Amino acid sequence: MDWKAVFEQALPYKKFLKQYADPQKDLTRWKAVYEEVVLTEEQQSLLGQFVRMMKVLCLTGAWCGDCVSQCPIFQRFSEATDCKIDLRFIDRDAHPNVAEELGICAGKRVPILVFLTEDYHECARYGDRTLSRYRQMAAELGGAACSTGITTAGQLATVTQEWLDEFERVQHMLRTSARLRQMHGD
C-alpha cells in the first residue's frame, strides 16, 4: 500500500466531519464525545514530550459508534503535541481498497489506525477497539451485534489511556529507530 498517497487523500478531523458526518445525527455525537475527552496533566505532559513526528492515518466512518467514542480521543492527542502527531481520517466506505488492506478478522472494522514515520513507512496498526472495550463487550454477550459506541466517563478514561499507551509505544519505536536517529543526527 502506498501510505503516502493514502495519507494525502485523508482529511484533518474537522474537514473529515464536515464532509462525512450527518449534521443531524453524527455530528452531535462526535462533538459530545470530543467535549468529554479530558486528558490528565500526566497524559498532556507525556504527549508534550514526543520528539518524533508520527503520521497517523485513521480509517473510520462518521456513522460508527466505535469511531464516535474513540476518534475524538485521537484528535485530543494530536492537539496536545507540538505538531508531533499529524492525524488524518479516511472514510472506510469511500476507500474500499484501504478498508480491504486494513481488514481485521476478515471484516472491514473501524476505527483502525496506521502509524507511519514522517516519511510514510508503516510502523504499527492498532484498532478497532481496546482491550477494556472488548472485555466489556464479552461480559455483555447476547446484546446487539454492533456496538452503539456509548461509554461511561470511566470507560472513556480507560479507553483514552489504552490508546495513549499505543501512541507512546510507537513514539518510543520512532525515537529509538536507528534509521531515524541517523536521519536526525541524534
**Higher per-residue pLDDT: 88 or 149:** 88
Confidence of residue 84 (pLDDT cuts 50, 70, 90): very high
Does the pTM surpass 0.75? The reply is yes
Mean pLDDT of 33-61: 98
Confidence of residue 37 (pLDDT cuts 50, 70, 90): very high
Confidence of residue 130 (pLDDT cuts 50, 70, 90): very high
Beta-bridge partners for 122: 116
- Residues 132-163 as b/e (b if ≥16 CB within 10 A, e otherwise) read bbeebeeeeeeeeeebebebeeeebbbbbbbb
Tell me if 127 sits within 8 A of 111, measured CB to CB.
yes
For domain 3-184, which architecture applies?
3-Layer(aba) Sandwich (3.40)
Q: How big is the CA angle at 140 (ends 137 and 145), to the nearest 5 degrees? A: 65
Given a cut of 90, whether residue 13 has pLDDT beyond it is yes
* Model pLDDT, residue 144: 53
Confidence of residue 4 (pLDDT cuts 50, 70, 90): very high
Q: Can you read off the three cell numbers belonging to residue 148? A: 452503539
* Sign of the torsion angle spanned by Cα atoms 111, 19, 152, 77: positive
Amino acid at 89: F
Mean pLDDT of 4-33: 97
Q: CA-CA distance, 62 to 26, in Å (whole number)?
A: 6
* Model pLDDT, residue 123: 97
In this structure, how many other beta carbons lie within 10 angstroms of the beta carbon of residue 35? 9
